[in-house]
Structure 1
C-alpha cells in the first residue's frame, strides 16, 4: 500500500511537472514576451503652445502610484478628474500630481484628467486620458509646458540607450534559448536546471484570492530552478461563466519589487465546458530576490476580469 501511494504521488508530480518542463524547454501553446518597461522609466510629455493640443494617454493601475511632475505651478482647485470616486489618492502639490486608482477601476477604462496652470499663460491647461491597466502603470511622467533644457534631452538619450541595450540583451537571450535543444536537455544546457533539480511547493491552501472575481483558482503550485521560478494555477471552470484567457501577468513583492516575467502559458480558455485548465507564469529570479511573499496578478485581453493571488512564496 505504501508503494502504491508512492507511485500515485510520483504520477501526480509528473502531471504537474510536465507542463513546466515543456514550458521551460520552449514548447508552449501561448507565450508572453518579456515584460514591458512601462512603469520603470520616465515618460516625458511636451505640451503644444497653440490652441490645438493632442491628448496624451497615461497608463494607471489599481493600488499603484502614477506621479505627474510639471515645470509650472498647477492650480490645485482647477484639477478635474473624471471618476474621482474610483481613486484612493489624488494628491496635488505645487508642481506635482499623484494618482492612485482603487480596485474599482478596471482594465481598459478611460478617464479624462484636466490640469490648469496657476499663471494662466498658454497653454493654460493640460488634458490627459488615463487608461487603466491591471498591473502596469506609468510611475513617473514629466510634463513640459516650456521649452525643455538640454539636460532633459541628454537624460532621455541615456534612457533610450539603456533600453536599447536591454533589448539587445533580450535578443541574445532569445537566440540562446532558440538554439538550445528542447525538453530536459535544453534546461540543462542553458543552466536553467542545475544539479539541485526543480524545487516544488504546494500553495493551494495558503494563497489568497480577491473575492468576487472569476475564474477561481483551485490548485496553485510554485517551482524554482537555478535561474527561474514558475507558478502553476489550475482554475475551477465553474468560476468563469464566460471563457477567460490570461493575456499577461506580474509577480510583485511586498517591497514593490517585480520579477521579470518571461512568458505566460495556458492550456486553454477557462470555461464551464473545459475543466482543469492551467496557467503557468515563468519569471527570472536570482536567489536574493525571492525573500518573502509575492502577489501574482493575471489579466485577460480587452476584459475587466483580473485574478489576483496573494501570499505566493517560492521554495
Structure 2
C-alpha cells in the first residue's frame, strides 16, 4: 500500500500530465483530414480552416503544376510548394466572413483538372494537414468529358500556353488534290508559347469513299518531323461530298526563328492530305501576319 506522501505525489503527477494533454483554453483544435476536390464547376469548393499562427500543409494524390498556383498574396503566404504539396499560412487570421480562394492545376490534365479550396479562419479549429483526394473517375458508360470543366481564358495563361508575346497567325492557301480526293478551305496556322497548330476544313470529294483522319505530321526543311495530335469537330469518318473541321497541334522547342512546315494528314486506305508551305511566324505581340 502506498504511503500518503507517495500517493499524493502520484496523483499530482497524473493530474499534471492530464492538464498538459488538454489544449489550452481558447486554443484551436488541430485537425488532419482528407478532402475531396470539387468534380464540377457547379459544386461548392471544400472549406479549409487556416490560422495566422499555424501553417497548413496540402498533400496531393498526384503531381501538381506549381506555376499555376493562384491566391491573394496580400492575404495568403505560400511557404513552400513541391511536386505534390504546398504549405500555406494567412498573413493574419482572416476576418469574420472573409473567404480566400486558392487553386492549382494537376499535372496530368485528368478531370477534375484543378484543385481549389476556400480558406477561412475558425475560432475553434485549424487544419494543419489536408490530404487532397480526387473523385473517382466516371464509369466507362459515361462520357469522359462530361465532368470536365469548360476551359476559361485565364487557364491558357496559367498553363503556360500564352505569354506576353501573344499568338501569331498566318493564313494558308486553299488546296485541291483530285488524285487523293481532298479540298481544303479556310486553313489558318497558329503559333504560341511552345506550340503550333493548324485549323483546317477538309472536304472529302463525292467520288471517294468515306475517310477518317488518323494521324498527322509536321515536316520541316531541317530537323526531325513533329508528330501532331489530331482533333476533329465531329467523331467518325468524313462521308463523300462532306466536310469536317480538323485541328493538328504539336509542341515545339522555344525559338525566335520562323518555321515553315508541310502538314501531312494520313487516314484510311492509304489516302493522305498534304498541305505544303505552312508558315508559323515567330512570336510577337500583334495580330495576323
Task: Classify the TM-score, shorter chain.
Answer: 0.3 to 0.5
Q: By percentage of residues, which structure has more helix?
A: 1
Q: By percentage of residues, which structure has more strand?
A: 2
Greater RCO between the two (CA within 8 Å, min separation 6)? 1
Larger Rg belongs to: 2
* TM-score using structure 1 length: 0.39
* TM-score using structure 2 length: 0.42
